[in-house]
Amino acid sequence: MKISLVNIPVRVFPATDSAASISFNQLHAECQTRIQQKRWCPKCEREVPLSEIAKGYEFEKGRYVIVEEEDIAKVRPESTRVIDLVQFTDASAIDPIYVDRPYYLAPDGQMALEAFAVMREGMKGKAGIGKLALYGREYLVAVLPKDKGLVMYTLRRAKEVRSMDNIEELGGVPAKVKPDEIKLAKQVIENFEGKLDLSEYRDAYQDELQRIIDAKIAGEEVVATEEQAPPKVVNLMDALRQSLDRVSTGKKKAAKAEIEKPVKAAPAPKAKKRARG
């Protein structure tokens, strides 16, 4: 990682685990054999070996220019395998819509430990913006301090993000709304405020899918979970009031259950022994 004249050797680690999600293979249903994906040329009507595959860029509809591996090898960005941070900004300035993939950064070797710790502390509240060329392309990245280390996010380029102005349906959204509706909406939101802990949120879909898979492996009957239809409320104010009532009722029930918990009786005090004269 390079910041001006400061160079810190770092190692990059994936911050996400793709194995946490259930994945499937394509099988031939008749014999349960995995399907092979073949490269097929519809013009020559034959399978094409990898040695005959070329990379082509479509510059007009149906017209391509062949780009050889030696052409790609001539692309040599200055930031090759170096996280070159060229600007710092407040961490809050990064719009989440630009964030792509997260990676952890850690010092590479004993010599890098102190410099890594110093820059991590110096970057608190800030994000370093820079470039990294890796796996044949250049990435825009943001580096932020997190706990004992640093986290690096690859960022989408500005031209990769669509402007919200292109969403026609947003044109009819009113600029002004009724103050009493805003007040009621804020009351509903305040009732759900709390300290965020994402580990409390389970993936219900993955859990249900795993339950069904386990049942099929065990040869058991697969029973679908009963789906509850959401209540139909047409009027916004009615929906907000009912939401407040539901939260209030839930809190009262929780408080009542807490009050009605059986209280253990305190042990009776032991009788004092009378002193003998």
HSE-up (13 A, CA, CB side) for residue 129: 14
Task: Please report, rounded to a whole number, the percentage of residues in the chain having pLDDT higher than 90.
Answer: 40
Cα(33)–Cα(142) distance, rounded to whole angstroms?
44
List, for residues 139-166, the tens digit of each pLDDT value: 999 999 999 999 999 999 999 999 998 8
Tokens of 37: 């994906």
- Do β-strands 10-14 and 27-28 pair in parallel, antiparallel, or remain unpaired? unpaired
- The pTM of the full predicted model, rounded to 2 decimals, is 0.67
Dump pLDDT digits (tens) for 101-110. 999 999 998 9
The β-bridge relationship of strands 99-107 and 149-155 is antiparallel
Computed over every residue of the chain, the mean pLDDT equals: 84
2-17+78-159 maps to CATH 2.40.290.10: yes
Q: HSE of 275 in the Cβ direction (CA atoms, 13 Å)? A: 1
Those residues with Cβ within 8 angstroms of residue 98's Cβ, 6 or more apart along the chain or in another chain: 155, 156, 158, 161
Residue 124: CB partners within 8 Å, gap ≥ 6? 145
Please report, for the chain, the start and end positions of each structural domain, with discontinuous segments joined by +.
2-17+78-159, 178-190+236-256
